[in-house]
Structure 1
């Protein structure tokens, strides 16, 4: 069926007619050829009238619309699994899942080519990402490639495949594979992908490959959740915790061993335990305890006995790194505010190999359970320096405070850090610690205990405060020039000291000369009262190195080791186990203990990355905020690696540091030999209203034929429109006609002597 129509310019046929009449009148009135014969005049008028008529037709813009009824071509998307799990056995004993899938796909591709007039296929391979569309490019090849994908992300594969056809009606998505979702954090959640199918009315046809079964059909022992690194001082007891996952081993005892390998010696079995599964798929905790003796770096391994018939053996062991340090300064840190100094202070102190930090949090929601039993460690006096931050005196208890006062008099060091429950607000007036602290306190300062009670801010400096050096002291020498205090971020507040005792020495004060850090000596011990509690801002604003030096110097001075000269070169990784090709960042630095100061800009770093085969490559670093940062190259190969750093200053060695780490291959695609048929059933059921189902590989062609026939039953009216001048061919034709008319007109006039 066809229809003719007109679309005149300015939507006015009368205007077009008027223009035509005006032009015809114009050529009839203008007579520049009076000497011409009538015949010649008729020729010229006829040519020009014909041009005007053609121009009028063009301005009317005639068009034709042809409507045809056609059957719809079916659009089918096929997704094939290309992960390593497809190398597992299929339901057919002599074939792997990959081989079975390849056979099925070859048969299906032949079927689709035979139906090329009725179907428009799309073919993608998937792992944790989607391949390029392959239909029409490589579908005739026998084996496209071997499966190499390390993870499966079904949600992303389905969603990206459907999104590749925007605005196109898709009649089916065929999902081939084993149904295992192994990607830890998929880009698109499976439910989101299925919701998109349901919204667009697309059925999911699942074609599973592999063997279906329950946990008893496969056996596996796996060691998991072993921490990546341990750090302990020699002579201390260390606890190693992990879990053993036992599948298909109900009632069968299995041995789990803890092994220790020094950097220069043979492996030793430290302890052997036995675990027994009480369920078909069970998790049993594993705990080892031993005493760390000799200082050094060790490879620690927890390994489980292999089960008969176990297919995956790589997960039977997990390793970690153990660093045993020589006995150092023992620091006990009690704090009552998790938002205060504790996080950055612990980082600063823990990175020093000469400081053994023990910390404990004291709650202040209610005083009903005070004294807190965690404060009883003070009686044992097994510490060299005690730090108290925002801890109420009653939470510690009078007996414990008396033990602290006695310990300080005998030579221990103590530092009290600011907070709402420190100094006078924390009820230390008339406590055993009152004569120890170098500041004055008043009874009216006392802060009531309770989460719902208001803070008495009148006894605090509730403003930003910049610290200034009042006199040189080992605690305020953070760098050689002394200008660093003008650059450090301001404190967010501080305790307001009511006064300073005669024995106290103010070494830091505010711009208004309010004392912020006061030192003194009590008996044989040293004491520091620090009103601030927000130096953690230094690290967060780019001054991590001065912060580390600040806290370490406090500890060394309190322990009477401020004259100890020691350089510690360190390397730090956030973790010790990485998956292949992970982005691995590290930090490095130099901590100088004692009075020596180094110019960091003059230090030269030589950092080398070495693998187990002793192949080495140099790693570059860049300094940022007193810390050097670097990025390791992509490491695709699993194994043990070592990062070794040496620092020199004007040609002389400052020190060395070493850190070991692992690239592990967890093989999630090989950890379970069973296909997840239930996954296919769940996904297909969610699109059942549109025809979603799970089919056997040999039934796929029959189901696709049904999809194609159903799509062909849908008749679609297709309109094909044409308009004069709108297509290139008609526009060129008009141009040629008009050009021809004007050319003939010009030639005639030239022949007759008119031009």
Structure 2
């Protein structure tokens, strides 16, 4: 209003009437009125608005299962699942053609990957037979979301038998991807093909095979196979273990009979064999093929094992703290630490003195033990011949360690025993500790005591030398106490390995030798604190190296070049990683070291690899594992063109057909996936419902239309500007011409 009043006043103010004629004055008034009207129009900002309805571009996606399980003929009239799927598409051809005029029709087929299907005259070009090795439903749905990310997806129609059978990296969980569809309000419609219970054939199969990758010569090896059965109830079948001999031929080394009954469809079968020679060997477990069994590729499973030179047999004797009692805490922890290593075979005997001076002659004869561990064992636990037999074994090369305790060493009465000469310490005359008497404090050192290894020359003793572990022994938990060893009681041939860290430097671990054997006197019985207080790796390594040293099998790598696989059985398409390296001696050579890696495939072809550094480790990665069969990794190390050595390792890819071994359909999975998108309209439907669904989708075209407002501004256009400037210029020109300015 204020602006309008100002404009009116401006129009009323004009030139003096005596200077120009009435006609000229009227012309200027008209121009000024036109300018004012134009300014008022601009201030009102006039705009033309038009509303139009446009269709949103969208994709209708059909996802077709192209895996081998779709070959199974369990649909109507014994048609294969694939033929039933193609028949449903043929019946829906008219609706699909009509929908393709409205939306962008996209058809994909999937197995382990997702591929678009070409259309010819509106008809999908599908293969005659599905041959995909996997059914990666989750990965296929994820691929669809990626491919169609540029436009809206109207709906996803999944036609499949519903069984997710996929290896990494294609084993994406379908539920995860379908939840993304639900968030985006995209309905999933599923159409199952095939029967949920595949009852047309019975099947026996070796489903799993468990064995240590590294075993030891002269040590029994247990192989556990899992037999799974469909059918063949109340029948007995033969399971055999085959072991590769030194000539590369497979020999049957163990056989078991298994009875299939209705209550046990999966049976664990233990098989065993004791290898004699070190090396790498292939092993197989097979079950006989019943008459009429159609699929027999799953009747056997194979893997490889590395057999190293003999393991260590340990006789661990633990004495009770009192007559009729139980052993202390320490033996239980030591036993557990040693059991963590496949090459250490521990026979544990607890002696509670309920029977005095027992005879272990038969045990010693059977075991042929490499190491004897005595934990708080009194001399009266065993008879004299048994102690004599143990001493004789040490003289011939076995190792012996006496551990701390109230009845070890002198307190245990060993002064005049056959064991006394073996020990690296001298036992005094009056050190005996009898049962039922107060503990002699003069025979023990009270804790806490800090275990402190002592260097022998420039290095520590092999028992406490952990090359790859950066250990600060001072940070290990303190020990409760120890048997009292005086330094003057150490024998001339004794080596002091560790002492207490205090000013007294009490000897704690002393090494010696007797005949061809090694001996230890360990004054401690509380190293379990290391395990319990966060130093489990150190604890296990310490006891392993102690035993290895006693058995004269110190943990040194004798292989000039080595290769270590992280497994021996891989599924098709898996990535195989392995470590490689050289021995400590070769590692100190110049930096010009190089590795040549060749992988021999089952078909005889060779593949070359280059190792990569991962920290301080050399790692090789092999990905061409699509062929079933045995693979061999060959590593050659050179330094300045000089051969350092070679190494090899084998692994196998089982000839398992994921699609046909267990081809039962899983319609419940499809139904549950569709249910996740129920709020968006998704549903699990029968295949014959596909034409009706497409008709329903045709009626939903209005849901994919949107009104778009188109606005055209009139006040800030070029004509409006030119008009305003023209009026102002015209008035100025006339005023100038008539002498008014």
- Normalised by the size of structure 2, how large is the TM-score? 0.70
Q: 1:319 Cα deviation (Å)?
A: 0.9
Q: 1:671 Cα deviation (Å)?
A: 1.4
Q: 1:642 Cα deviation (Å)?
A: 0.7
Does residue 736 of the first structure (1) align with residue 718 of the second (2)?
yes
Q: In 2, are the aligned partners of 1:476 and 1:507 still within 8 Å (CA)?
A: no
Query: What is the match of residue 619 of structure 2?
Result: 629
Deviations 1:141-160 (A, max 9, x none): 32279755544355676799
Does residue 663 of the first structure (1) align with residue 653 of the second (2)?
yes
Deviations 1:251-308 (A, max 9, x none): 4554444333446444434455554532398334444444434444332222233345
Query: Match of 2:717, SS?
Result: helix
Greater shift after overlay, 221-230 or 120-129?
Answer: 120-129
Greater shift after overlay, 104-113 or 526-535?
Answer: 526-535
Query: What is the match of residue 636 of structure 2?
Result: 646
CA change 1:523–1:478 in 2 (3 A) is closer
Q: 1:237 Cα deviation (Å)?
A: 4.3
Counterparts of residues 407-446 of structure 1 (less than 5 Å): 408=394, 411-414=397-400, 423-424=404-405, 430-431=411-412, 436=423
Query: What is the match of residue 459 of structure 1?
Result: 447
Q: In 2, are the aligned partners of 1:553 and 1:562 still within 8 Å (CA)?
A: yes
Q: 1:508 Cα deviation (Å)?
A: 4.7
Aligned equivalents of 1:747, 1:303: Cα separation in 2: 105
Q: In 1, are the aligned partners of 2:117 and 2:125 still within 8 Å (CA)?
A: no
Aligned equivalents of 1:735, 1:107: Cα separation in 2: 58
Aligned equivalents of 2:198, 2:181: Cα separation in 1: 30
Q: 1:659 Cα deviation (Å)?
A: 0.9
CA change 1:116–1:608 in 2 (3 A) is closer
Q: 1:475 Cα deviation (Å)?
A: 2.1
Pick from 433, 455, 462 the counterpart of residue 469 of structure 1: 455
Greater shift after overlay, 196-205 or 323-332?
Answer: 196-205
- Structure 1 unaligned residues grouped into runs of 5+: 1-16, 351-355, 417-421, 447-456
Query: What is the match of residue 75 of structure 2?
Result: 91
Q: In 2, are the aligned partners of 1:44 and 1:745 still within 8 Å (CA)?
A: yes
Does residue 42 of the first structure (1) align with residue 32 of the second (2)?
no
Deviations 1:728-750 (A, max 9, x none): x5247732233222442465368
Query: Match of 1:226, SS?
Result: strand
Aligned equivalents of 1:587, 1:360: Cα separation in 2: 34
Greater shift after overlay, 610-619 or 564-573?
Answer: 564-573
Q: 1:612 Cα deviation (Å)?
A: 3.0
Query: Match of 1:521, SS?
Result: strand
Query: What is the match of residue 219 of structure 1?
Result: 202
Looking at CA atoms only, which structure, 1 or 2, has the larger radius of gyration?
2
CA change 1:402–1:493 in 2 (3 A) is farther
Query: Match of 1:242, SS?
Result: strand
Aligned equivalents of 1:718, 1:703: Cα separation in 2: 20
When the two chains are superposed, the root-mean-square deviation of aligned CA atoms in Å is 6.1
Query: What is the match of residue 512 of structure 2?
Result: 521
Aligned length, in residue pairs: 684
Counterparts of residues 187-336 of structure 1 (less than 5 Å): 205-211=189-195, 213-215=197-199, 217-227=200-210, 231-262=214-245, 264-271=247-254, 273-279=256-262, 282-327=265-310, 330=313
Query: Match of 2:39, SS?
Result: helix
- Structure 2 unaligned residues grouped into runs of 5+: 319-328, 436-444
Counterparts of residues 378-397 of structure 1 (less than 5 Å): 382-386=368-372
Query: What is the match of residue 599 of structure 2?
Result: 609
Aligned equivalents of 2:476, 2:7: Cα separation in 1: 91
Q: In 1, are the aligned partners of 2:215 and 2:307 still within 8 Å (CA)?
A: yes
Q: 1:92 Cα deviation (Å)?
A: 4.9
CA change 1:407–1:30 in 2 (3 A) is farther
Q: In 2, are the aligned partners of 1:222 and 1:316 still within 8 Å (CA)?
A: yes
Query: What is the match of residue 111 of structure 1?
Result: 95
Q: 1:662 Cα deviation (Å)?
A: 1.3
Deviations 1:309-340 (A, max 9, x none): 44433212111224444546656689978998
Pick from 572, 577, 584 the counterpart of residue 580 of structure 1: 572
Q: In 2, are the aligned partners of 1:81 and 1:177 still within 8 Å (CA)?
A: yes
Q: 1:85 Cα deviation (Å)?
A: 1.6
Query: Match of 1:110, SS?
Result: helix
Q: In 1, are the aligned partners of 2:561 and 2:581 still within 8 Å (CA)?
A: yes
Q: 1:209 Cα deviation (Å)?
A: 1.9
Query: Match of 2:298, SS?
Result: helix
CA change 1:640–1:43 in 2 (3 A) is farther
